[in-house]
Amino acid sequence: MNNPLLESFDIAPFSKIKSDHFLSAIKNGISLAKEEINQIVTNPEQPNFSNTIEAMDYSGELLDRVTSVFFNLNSAETNEEIQKIAQEVSPLLAEFSNDISLNNDLFKRIEAVYLQKDEIDLDPEQHTLLRKRYKSFSRNGANLPEDKKEILRNIDKELSKLGLKFGENVLAETNKFEMLLTEESDLDGLPDGAKEAAKEIAKAKGKEGWMITLDYPSYIPFITYAKNRELRKKLSLAFGSKGFHNDDLDNQEIVLKIANLRHQRAALLGYSSHAHYILEERMAESPDKVFAFLNNILEKAKPAAQREFKQLASFAKDLDGIENLQKWDGAYYSEKLKQKLFDLDDEKLKPYFKLENVIDGVFKIATKLFDLHFEETNDVDKYHKEVKTYNVTDANGNFIALFYADFHPRPGKRNGAWMTSYKSQMRKNDTNVRPHVSIVCNFTKPTPSKPSLLTFNEVTTLFHEFGHALHGMLANTTYPGLSGTSVFWDFVELPSQVMENWCYEKEALELFAKHYETGEVIPMELVNKIKESATFMEGMATMRQLSFGLLDMSWHGQDPSSIENVKDHERKVFKETSLYPDVSENCMSTAFSHIFQGGYSAGYYSYKWAEVLDADAFEYFKDNGIFNKEVATKFKENVLAKGGTENPMTLYKRFRGQEPKPEALLKRAGLLT
């Protein structure tokens, strides 16, 4: 069988790939990578940086390319066949990873180079790579006796399977729920665009009426605007109970197994908890620092959140006689209160945020800041017809990156938004190999009468993911292992979160916020209202984020073996941060994909951590002009281009001239009293 994944390719050959190509390609990739590692191990020369550390970082290129295509499809365009293959290949990849990290002869060569680090002439990037490589081995069992290495292998295999199963269950739960409405009165309050979209969903499924699903573009408008409180409750309970039905899609046992296996793994490696293990390689450094950081912000946010909740509850009671404000009331009455206070709602804003215009806007901002140019191309192979592709060049016409963008929900795509990569940037054989970067979102679809009009939240999401993409596209490092977003996890959100700030600035909005029918630029009155409302309910939003960070740390910052019931554990953790009454049918952990499927275990705090960095960084832009070329160039050269080549605080201070000040975040959020 001709396998396009085993032929030399620059751009992923999606149209030629069949699902059954993946297993053989991944197995081949593992074999080839093993051969490359064996050549390093058996090299008769004395170990040095070039023949050991550098050679390792360039090894496994075919495997990296194939697995990036496979796992990206498993997230953005999956099916039962791909999911089945994922369950088969994940243990193989975990075993291969262990074969490398537990290879004693390989570790001896790495250690030999590491012990010479002060005598050999290395630049900062090489020093970082050497340290990272040595630490990855010592932190992953290289010093363990053989019997414990075998235990580690089995734990890693099991964890890879459990993470996949967790995600499959969440996706299946999301796709399973359908709320078909046949009475138009049940849609009272919904904007016309949301009604039309609901009708289209029903029609696509061969049903009469209006269908609401758990996909964000369907769920969010209904929970925000629908007058029918019982239907909001039904939808909210379905959304909040994913993986919590004691059926074959239940994730409770999986959560307990993952948490306990991670703890066992950390203990095996000599750490007090999974969080101690993870945070050793983060800016935060330790669980104590994370708890101190979260609790410090909680102390500032809690009084504001309690005031806001009281105001919201009082407003709901006065408006509709609601005695007990519930979770399914929050978005609805927040939107009503925002309209009353600011005369602003998403329906007034959406006509100014046609998807194509927002894409054009984010490109124009990247041009003004970083001299990048984006040209759509239809010559690139795609995994779905909805995917858009762009050639990215610099001011001199040099090729910088290939950029993929996939914007709308589909049954085979998981919820949320993310950035990913199909090909890493690196310097190899005197060539600067440029990256292929992708963002995947789930935005409002166009309807027969309207184009895709984004909510303001969707606009900030697009800017956020594009910030990650810039980190990948502008990478300019030597080694793939330090390129782009290969940075400390609590630094990776800085480029994404700082980009969101431009969405609130008049000078930026005027570039793209134009009425989709008239072409009129967004009125200054609306721009002012966007800025005024930016801190609306910020105390409650901050408390919500902090509660997720504390829940994450509760699973990973201690021995979880005494936790018997997932829901009871959550109740205890949320005691300090909960504002709404508890809903017995709901459970956060069973669908908390960030920490049980994604890479955010013991790392969810990093969103807030990065907010401190981004607020401080954007203050620097604002002080000098949001399109100031000098500041933008410093950000590009010291943050975006550098990847993980040096300690992130060193890079940040080189850009900013100082360490970040938390006051910038508290000031922006309106939480400074």
Per annotation, catalytic residue among 465, 505, 538, 570: 465
Query: Helix (H) and strand (E) counts for the chain?
Result: 27, 9
Percent of all residues in the chain with a pLDDT value above 90, rounded to a whole number: 93
> What's the confidence (pLDDT) of residue 347?
85
Which burial class, exposed, middle or buried, applies to 72 when counting CB atoms under 10 A from its CB (0-12, 13-18, 19+)? buried
Give the pLDDT band of residue 662 (cuts 50, 70, 90): confident
pLDDT digits (tens, 9 = 90+) for 146-193: 999 999 999 999 999 999 999 999 999 999 999 999 999 999 999 999
> What's the confidence (pLDDT) of residue 671?
83
Which token pair is 12?
């992923």
What are the backbone angles phi and psi of residue 427, rounded to the nearest 5°? Answer: -105, 125
pLDDT digits (tens, 9 = 90+) for 216-227: 999 999 999 999
Statement: the pTM of the whole predicted model exceeds 0.85: yes
pLDDT digits (tens, 9 = 90+) for 498-543: 999 999 999 999 999 999 999 999 999 999 999 889 899 999 999 9
Which burial class, exposed, middle or buried, applies to 589 when counting CB atoms under 10 A from its CB (0-12, 13-18, 19+)? buried
φ/ψ bin of 239: left (φ > 0), alpha (ψ from -120 to 50), beta (otherwise): alpha
- State yes or no: pLDDT of 234 exceeds 80: yes
Between CA 424 and CA 475 the distance in angstroms is: 9
CB 53 within 8 A of CB 37: no
**Domain chopping of the chain, boundaries:** 4-143, 177-240
Residue 81 is among the residues annotated as catalytic for this protein? no
The residue-averaged pLDDT of 398-408 equals 98
The residue-averaged pLDDT of 128-142 equals 93
Mean predicted lDDT score pLDDT of the chain? 95
Which residues are within 8 A (CB) of 328 and not within 5 positions of it... i.e. 6 or more apart?
A: 223, 229, 232, 233, 235, 236, 237
* Amino acid residing at 529: K
Give the pLDDT band of residue 673 (cuts 50, 70, 90): low
φ/ψ bin of 341: left (φ > 0), alpha (ψ from -120 to 50), beta (otherwise): alpha
Q: Residue 443 is inside which H or E element, if any?
A: none
- State yes or no: pLDDT of 1 exceeds 80: no
pLDDT digits (tens, 9 = 90+) for 284-339: 999 999 999 999 999 999 999 999 999 999 999 999 999 999 999 999 999 999 99
DSSP 142: T
pLDDT digits (tens, 9 = 90+) for 608-649: 999 999 999 999 999 999 999 999 999 999 999 999 999 999
The residue-averaged pLDDT of 568-591 equals 97
Long-range contacts at 361-365 (CB < 8 A, ≥ 24 apart): 361/508, 361/511, 361/512, 361/513, 362/462, 362/463, 362/466, 362/499, 362/512, 364/511, 364/512, 365/502, 365/508, 365/511
pLDDT digits (tens, 9 = 90+) for 424-474: 999 999 999 999 999 999 998 998 999 999 999 999 999 999 999 999 999
* Amino acid residing at 524: M
The residue-averaged pLDDT of 258-283 equals 97
- State yes or no: pLDDT of 672 exceeds 80: no
Collapsing DSSP to helix, strand or coil, 654 comes out as helix
- State yes or no: pLDDT of 265 exceeds 80: yes
pLDDT digits (tens, 9 = 90+) for 108-124: 999 999 999 999 999 99
pLDDT digits (tens, 9 = 90+) for 180-190: 999 999 999 99
Collapsing DSSP to helix, strand or coil, 521 comes out as strand
- State yes or no: pLDDT of 408 exceeds 90: yes
> What's the confidence (pLDDT) of residue 346?
83
Q: Is the alpha carbon torsion for 543, 545, 551, 557 positive or negative?
A: negative
CATH 1.20.1050.40 fits 4-143, yes or no: yes
